[in-house]
């Protein structure tokens, strides 16, 4: 308890749920956001005074934004939660190259660079946690979400590979792969589309951001040290 946790994408629905859960359980937080960073300042006003160490705004879809973000990190980090990102919908052959570059930077390069920067101190302490919130599409792929599926698949592979490399150094690396979750990312779907998805999910409902947060807390807890290099599916059986 009391460890410093960096949450990338903390202003999203899943990110803020993770922040709330960890704050209630004694963790100290460094929160990253971009377009909705005001939500993080509101969260800090409503939380216990010592819960939020810092709030950092950065556009990680831009290489310059990644570099600037690294320069803002002023605290020792014990754990990193990569909960950020954005979806990209559309036919693959109509996807602009600029969009491809941004999606790669946001979901792949930014985690690479941030992890590379923070990993040496974790290895020196022989302790640390790195957790990715990936996606069911990183495993199965989705039509009209080819680029998003690709970068989430890259995150899954990064988790498995890095876990093998840093396991002997005491650093834990895992991923959580959500299915259909009640977030703003899914608000573009029509009611009939949502109903069709619910029919395919054995639990007959969408997941909740706080359910993802519960698993993050579990992975950070001292009772889960032997879970390593795993992608934990949270899909309701979908």
CA 18 to CA 215: how far, in whole Å? 9
The pLDDT confidence band at residue 198, using thresholds 50, 70 and 90, is confident
The pLDDT confidence band at residue 92, using thresholds 50, 70 and 90, is very high
Q: Is 148 assigned a catalytic role?
A: yes
| Catalytic entry in 27, 75, 148, 226 | 148
CA 59 to CA 62: how far, in whole Å? 6
CA 76 to CA 67: how far, in whole Å? 18
- pLDDT value at position 23? 95
| Contact status, residue 45 vs residue 53, Cβ threshold 8 Å | no
Nearest 5°: phi and psi at 145?
Answer: -135, 45
Close Cβ partners of 137 (under 8 Å, ≥ 6 residues apart): 145, 148, 149, 152, 153
Q: Which of 66-70, 102-106, 145-149, 189-193 has the lowest mean pLDDT?
A: 189-193
Nearest 5°: phi and psi at 28?
Answer: -100, 135
CA 104 to CA 62: how far, in whole Å? 10
232: exposed, middle or buried (Cβ count in 10 Å: 0-12, 13-18, 19+): middle
Mean pLDDT of the 124-153 span: 93
- pLDDT value at position 187? 67
On the question of pLDDT at 186 being above 80, the answer is no
- The length of the chain is 238
Helices of type H across the chain: 13-24, 38-46, 63-72, 97-104, 110-125, 136-140, 146-166, 191-200, 209-220
**Widest CA span in the chain:** 52
Which DSSP category does 184 fall into?
A: G
Q: Of residues 105 and 88, which shows the higher confidence score?
A: 105
On the question of pLDDT at 1 being above 60, the answer is no
Nearest 5°: phi and psi at 40?
Answer: -75, -35
CA 176 to CA 157: how far, in whole Å? 13
Distances (CA, A) of 154 to 21, 91, 179: 27, 20, 17
| Contact status, residue 23 vs residue 51, Cβ threshold 8 Å | yes
Per-residue pLDDT of 3-49, as tens digits, reads 999 999 999 999 999 999 999 999 999 999 998 999 999 999 988 77
Mean pLDDT of the 90-112 span: 96
Q: What CATH number is given for 4-234 in this structure?
A: 3.40.50.720
- pLDDT value at position 61? 96
CA 127 to CA 3: how far, in whole Å? 11
Average pLDDT for the chain: 93
């Amino acid at each position: 308890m009391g460890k410093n946790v960096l949450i990338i994408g903390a202003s999203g629905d899943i990110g803020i749920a993770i922040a709330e859960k960890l704050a209630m359980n004694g963790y100290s937080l460094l929160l990253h956001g971009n377009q909705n960073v005001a939500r993080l300042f509101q969260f800090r006003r409503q939380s216990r005074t010592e819960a939020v160490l810092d709030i950092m705004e950065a556009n990680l879809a831009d290489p310059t934004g990644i570099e600037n973000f690294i320069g803002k990190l002023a605290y020792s980090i014990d754990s990193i939660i990569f909960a950020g990102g954005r979806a990209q919908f559309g036919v693959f052959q109509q996807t602009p190259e600029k969009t491809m570059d941004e999606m790669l930077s946001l979901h792949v390069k930014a985690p690479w660079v941030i992890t590379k920067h923070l990993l040496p101190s974790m290895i020196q302490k022989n302790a640390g946690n790195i957790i990715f919130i990936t996606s069911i599409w990183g495993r199965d792929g989705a039509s009209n979400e080819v680029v998003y599926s690709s970068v989430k698949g890259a995150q899954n592979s990064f988790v498995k590979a890095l876990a093998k490399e840093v396991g002997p150094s005491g650093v834990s690396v895992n991923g959580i792969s959500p299915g259909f979750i009640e977030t703003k990312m899914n608000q573009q779907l029509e009611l009939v589309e949502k109903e069709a998805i619910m029919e395919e999910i054995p639990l007959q409902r969408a997941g909740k951001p706080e359910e993802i947060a519960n698993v993050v807390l579990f992975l950070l807890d001292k009772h889960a040290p032997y879970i390593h290099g795993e992608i934990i599916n949270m899909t309701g059986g979908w």
